[in-house]
């Protein structure tokens, strides 16, 4: 009787532990919704003391504040690929606020520590080859749940001064994320770049193991590394004045 009761108690403890144990996902597909605050971007175009023009006021009166796009990340322990996902019906009469990064495809290979990306920048296609990006992330201690995964907050920077906020989950140990972001001890489930008024948020995780064909990437385009891409775009947009900088930030995501 004593042994039977002991076994029952142990089984009960194991059931409680299993119920409280975090999920652990090593392969699958994540859908992200990229949400862009177009009105916030428009406000950045004006000087602080400049009044809102009539056409901007009309645009804001006849168009939604946010533009949404979907992207997918296929992942396993060795690599990830980020690419456009489901299409959504256009919710604006113009391409205002789209950003040049709506067709990016990014393959991150953790075995070779290399990244390959296809980027269409104002009608010119680039094929980027470089080492995996390194970001000096700082843990912030905040925790939230995203797509049913417990996530931790970290903050980093790109282009020396552009802050990036990430929430990553250790329950998906692959060190990836949207675009070229990664380098945390788990998958980035939410990414925010306040100066671009844009967030990427995981909406669902599918546990289907990706096929090798899911990681295919075209190598068409002008071959550059990240530094060369930055310099090329910087040179091309130098006549854009204050608008050039944010377009460069979009390009080097």
Q: What pLDDT is stored for residue 159 in this prediction?
A: 85
Residue 12 in this model has a pLDDT that exceeds 60: no
Contact status, residue 224 vs residue 128, Cβ threshold 8 Å: yes
DSSP structure class, residue 220: -
If one counts every other C-beta atom within 10 angstroms of the C-beta of residue 153, the result is 17
- The answer, as to whether pTM is greater than 0.75, is yes
pLDDT of residue 242: 60
DSSP 97-122: T--TTTT-EEEEETTTTEEEEEEEET
Residue 62 has φ and ψ, to the nearest 5°, of -120, 5
Return the higher-pLDDT residue of 14 and 71: 71
Instruction: Specify the higher pLDDT residue, 88 or 10.
Output: 88
Using a 10 angstrom Cβ sphere, with 0-12 exposed, 13-18 middle and 19 or more buried, the burial of residue 190 is: buried
pLDDT of residue 98: 58
Q: How confident is the model at residue 48 (pLDDT cuts 50, 70, 90)?
A: low
Q: Could you tell me what percent of the chain has a pLDDT over 90?
A: 56
**Diameter over CA atoms, the chain:** 85
pLDDT of amino acid 7: 40
- Residue found by looking up tokens 């289907």 in the block: 208
Q: What is the pLDDT of residue 11?
A: 44
Averaged pLDDT, 85-100: 60
Distance CA 12, CA 18 (A): 10
Cross-strand partners of 144: 151
Q: Is 126 helix (H, G, I), strand (E, B) or coil?
A: strand
- Mean pLDDT for 230-242 is 74
User: What are the pLDDT digits (tens) for 163-203?
Assistant: 999 999 999 999 999 999 999 999 999 999 998 899 999 99
Task: Please name the residue that has the structure tokens 């995964």.
Answer: 149
Start-to-end CA span in the chain (Å): 64
Q: What is the distance between the alpha carbons of residues 170 and 148, in angstroms, rounded to a whole number?
A: 13
Residue 114: per-residue pLDDT: 97
Question: Does residue 17 have a pLDDT over 50?
Answer: no
Cα separation of 18 and 80, whole Å? 29
Residues of the chain above pLDDT 70, percent: 79
Phi, psi of 94 (to 5 degrees): -120, 170
Correct CATH for 26-251 of 2.40.128, 1.10.10, 2.50.20, 3.90.930:
2.50.20
Answer whether 182's CB lies under 8 Å from 133's CB: yes
């Amino acid at each position: 009787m004593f042994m039977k009761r002991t076994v029952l108690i142990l089984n009960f403890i194991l059931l409680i532990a299993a119920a409280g144990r975090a999920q652990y996902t090593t392969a699958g597909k994540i859908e992200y919704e990229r949400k862009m605050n177009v009105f916030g971007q428009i406000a950045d175009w004006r000087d602080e003391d400049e009044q809102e023009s009539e056409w901007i006021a009309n645009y804001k009166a006849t168009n939604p504040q946010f533009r949404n796009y979907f992207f997918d990340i296929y992942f396993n322990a060795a690599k990830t690929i980020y690419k456009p996902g489901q299409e959504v019906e256009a919710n604006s009469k113009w391409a205002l606020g789209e950003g040049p990064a709506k067709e990016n495809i990014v393959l991150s290979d953790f075995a070779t520590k290399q990244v390959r990306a296809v980027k269409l920048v104002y009608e010119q296609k680039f094929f980027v080859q470089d080492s995996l990006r390194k970001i000096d992330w700082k843990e912030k201690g905040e925790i939230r749940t995203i797509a049913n995964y417990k996530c931790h907050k970290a903050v980093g920077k790109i282009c020396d001064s552009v802050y990036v906020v990430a929430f990553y989950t250790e329950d998906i140990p692959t060190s990836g994320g949207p675009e070229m972001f990664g380098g945390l001890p788990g998958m980035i489930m939410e990414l925010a770049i306040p100066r671009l008024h844009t967030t990427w948020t995981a909406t669902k995780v599918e546990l289907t193991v990706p096929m090798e064909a899911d990681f295919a990437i075209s190598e068409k385009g002008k071959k550059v590394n990240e530094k060369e891409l930055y310099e090329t775009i910087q040179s091309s947009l130098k006549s854009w004045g204050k608008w050039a900088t944010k377009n460069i930030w979009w390009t080097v995501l």
